[in-house]
Amino acid sequence: MRLVKAVVFTVICSVAICAQSNKGGISGTVFDPNGAVVPGATVVITDLGTQKVVTLTTSESGAYSATSLDPVTYSVRVEATGFKKAIIEKVKVDTATIAAVNVTLETGAVGETVTITSDAAVINTESATTTQTVNERQIRELPLNNRSVLDLAVTAPNVSGDAGSEDPGVTSDQPVPGFNLNINGGRAGSSAILADGVNNTGVGIARAVVSFTPETVQEFTVQSSAYSAEFGATGGGVINATTKSGTNDFHGVALWYHRNPVTNALPYRIGNGPRPANNLRYNQVSATIGGPVYLPRFGEGGPALYDGHNKTFFFFAYEPRWRRVGTTFRDTAGR
């Protein structure tokens, strides 16, 4: 009996762990020109980066819903007998957010196509969750202290505090990443931090356990109130990050940050003595690359050994750091 209880408890915990996710979705209703719903319409949702396809059929009420979608950009195609084909070219699904896409079909032949430019809805009609998504462009272009993407969490509503450094000592005067952020009035250290839907919150100190460089984070969403029960293990809010992955196009970043005593500014003068030297030597290299898995065939003609386009993808990131500081001490005590 004890074994059965233990197994049941383990299964329940596993389900609870898997419930949290960074996945989003697309849902909506298909209408005809008179505003009546269109049941039985075919809805094809395509990932623009990997060409992965999800095919749905609208219900009797003309509704459709695609869940567990990666937070990337999609195209939506709707087809129904007696109507022109409708294509929404770009629909962005944010992390842990449902995008509402309602489509009105025009009367005509299926062979005719109507292309629709869709803008994000100003009001979220799918849920009452208060969210703010910090996208890839903001992460890439806004200044970051010590390259911590969590610095940008304070740009979201209902968030205050100090995001901290990516390279701190765990001390009272040096906040660690994410620990001193206050979301929706919650105390410091009471918020949940997720990475790709996986719990990334420290146990002893509720900080981000694994730090991700700005080049590896695609976006993150701050949920400050009325979020789903699956994110209920928090006394403040939820920071849900999505890391980058490979697509059909090769893409990457390479950078080198360098500081040297020759170009460093000198510290402030202490008393009437000479200004001490700034001996900091610091190097930080970041390199990322992602794309389809491709194995060429060497030494002979013919197709590649393996072409992962539309099938298999990879993403790799590497960021080493070197830091050396020489400190000069002056002893003025009597001997």
- C-alpha to C-alpha distance for 44 and 54, rounded to whole angstroms: 6
Taking residues 177-185, what's their average pLDDT?
85
Q: Among 88, 87, 90, 91, which residue's Cα sits nearest to residue 113?
A: 87
- Cα distance between residue 139 and residue 220, in whole Å: 9
The pLDDT score that the predictor gives to residue 173 is 55
Residue type, 268: Y
Measure the CA–CA gap between 173 and 188, rounded to whole angstroms: 14
Lowest mean pLDDT across 85-89, 295-299, 309-313: 295-299
What are the domain boundaries of the chain? Answer: 22-116, 130-243, 251-324
Locate all alpha helices (DSSP H) within the chain, ordered by sequence. Answer: 2-19, 136-141
Q: Is the pLDDT of residue 116 over 90?
A: no
State which CATH number among 2.170.130.10, 3.40.50.150, 3.10.310.40, 1.10.8.80 fits the domain covering 130-243. 2.170.130.10
Residue type, 264: N
How many whole angstroms separate alpha carbon 72 and alpha carbon 84?
A: 27
Which residues make Cβ contacts (< 8 Å) with residue 147, sequence separation at least 6?
Answer: 166, 213, 214, 284
204-230 pLDDT, tens per residue? 777 888 888 899 999 999 998 888 777
Residue type for position 240 = N
Give residue 14's pLDDT band: very low, low, confident or very high (50, 70, 90): very low
Question: Average pLDDT of 110-139?
Answer: 77
- Name which residue leads in pLDDT, 173 or 157: 157
Compute the distance between CA of residue 195 and CA of residue 208 in angstroms, rounded to an integer: 9
Q: Exposed, middle or buried: residue 225 (CB in 10 Å: 0-12, 13-18, 19+)?
A: middle
CATH architecture of 22-116: Sandwich (2.60)
- Name the band, by pLDDT with cuts 50, 70 and 90, for residue 118: low
- pLDDT for the residue numbered 52: 95
Residue 88 to residue 144: CA distance in whole angstroms: 35
Residue 328 has pLDDT above 90, yes or no: no
- Does 325 have pLDDT greater than 80? no
Bridge-based pairing of strands 103-104 and 24-31 is parallel
- What is the pTM assigned to this prediction? 0.81
pLDDT digits (tens, 9 = 90+) for 264-292: 887 776 667 777 778 888 898 999 999 99
Answer yes or no: are the C-beta atoms of 246 and 70 closer than 8 Å.
no
CB 195 within 8 A of CB 210: yes
Is the pLDDT assigned to residue 97 strictly greater than 70? yes
Q: Mean pLDDT check: name the lowest of 77-86, 112-121, 243-252.
A: 112-121
* Contact (Cβ atoms closer than 8 angstroms) between residue 107 and residue 82: yes
Pairwise CA distance, residues 36 & 84, whole Å: 16
Contact, 240 vs 232, CB < 8 A? no
pLDDT reported for residue 304: 85
Lowest mean pLDDT among 127-136, 264-273, 300-309: 264-273
The confidence score (pLDDT) of residue 34 equals 94
CB 183: neighbour CB atoms within 10 A?
Answer: 27
Least confident of 55-64, 257-266, 308-317: 257-266
Rounded to a whole number of angstroms, the distance between the first and last alpha carbons of the chain is 77
Q: How far apart are CA 237 and CA 196, in angstroms?
A: 16
pLDDT value of residue 148: 83
Q: In terms of pLDDT, which residue wins out, 54 or 175?
A: 54
